[in-house]
Amino acid sequence: MSDLRLFITTTEKLSEVLLDLMTDAFEDDGYAIATMEMDEKRDIWEASLYIDFDEEDEMRARFAAVVAHQFPDATIEREVIPDVDWIAKSLEGLSPVRAGRFLVHGSHDRDKVHLNDIAIEIDAGQAFGTGHHGTTAGCLEVIETVMRARKVRNALDLGTGSGVLAIAARKLKPVPVLATDIDPIATRVAAENVKRNGIATGITTLTAPGFHSPAFATHGPFDLIIANILARPLIKMAPQLASHLAPGGSVILSGILASQRWKVLSAYNGQHLRHVRTIWRNGWVTIHLDRP
């Protein structure tokens, strides 16, 4: 388990350069690497390397050597990572989460919704997706950007979990949304959450592994495909996902660790999709691509 974080404070652009250098140097040794936005307005980012206490001297020297050429003036700072009680932490994940105009909140926080919020009510339960995870929040942010900027006539939320992203898309624009999950419990929870959010029609929930159902052909091709799963299945399903994307369509991928970003990007570039933007949150990335 990592106990210590060594990090360099930088800007968004330079954090990407640092991430590449760090990935090349440390990924094969199994070290966790992350870039995090600390202050959006002032463009302050941190590029971090997670290590054990007893290797601090050695790893600090390696880190300094890796960045020395391109960042000769970089200061390597350190932070001790406190022990976290993850069970307590997950139960505590009940405060509302803001991502763009979306506010994802539990039923006990209805009074926290402001006039201009697009509120999504999800209680922590048996399916993933209360908005607290960096991947969900990243997807919400990109959904808003895409649906405002592009002509989206229908959407697919693959790996819907609690249904949070499908609900978000439908609340932004009254387009048909197909929400699927490999797990029948998730599909049931998603359907309940759709109703609870006052959406009577427009979202179809379906249990299916990957693209294995004729429903994808019936409902597709899609102008927007959102898939917050994990890097490995996303890489594997790149050809199928691309084949269900309409011309000019957009794709939002998440569940990807920062260190896996290039592998996912190259799988989707291989399907002639173009990288538009990456959002980094707590070591996870959300990738927005489109079909030119």
Ligand X SMILES: C[S@@+](CC[C@H](N)C(=O)[O-])C[C@H]1O[C@@H](n2cnc3c(N)ncnc32)[C@H](O)[C@@H]1O
Residues in touch with ligand X (CB under 6 A): 127-129, 135-136, 139, 158-161, 164-165, 180-183, 186, 209-210, 228-229, 233, 255
| 159 labeled part of a ligand binding site | yes
User: Which residue in 68, 55, 72, 58 sits closest to 1, CA to CA?
Assistant: 55
Q: Is 136 flagged in the annotation as binding?
A: yes
What are the respective helix, strand and coil percentages of the chain, to the nearest 5?
40, 30, 30
Q: What is the C-alpha separation between 145 and 147, in angstroms, rounded?
A: 6
Closest CB 208 distance from ligand X, rounded Å: 7
Smaller CB distance to ligand X: residue 59 or 165? 165
C-alpha dihedral over 170, 251, 38, 83, to 10 degrees? 90
Task: Write down the least CB distance from residue 129 to ligand X, Å.
Answer: 3
Listed in sequence order, the residues at least 6 apart from 159 whose beta carbon sits closer than 8 Å to its beta carbon are: 180, 181, 182, 227, 228, 229, 255
Nearer to ligand X, 15 or 162 (CB): 162
Helices and strands in the chain, H and E counts: 10, 14
Min. distance of Cβ 34 from ligand X in angstroms? 18
Please, what is the end-to-end C-alpha distance for the chain in angstroms?
43
- Between 209 and 270, CB nearer to ligand X: 209
Least distance to ligand X from the beta carbon of 135, Å? 6
| Closest CB to ligand X among residues 36, 139 | 139
| 197 annotated ligand-binding residue | no
SS3 40: coil
Annotated binding residues, as ranges?
A: 136, 159, 181, 228
Annotated binding residues for S-adenosyl-L-methionine, as ranges?
A: 136, 159, 181, 228
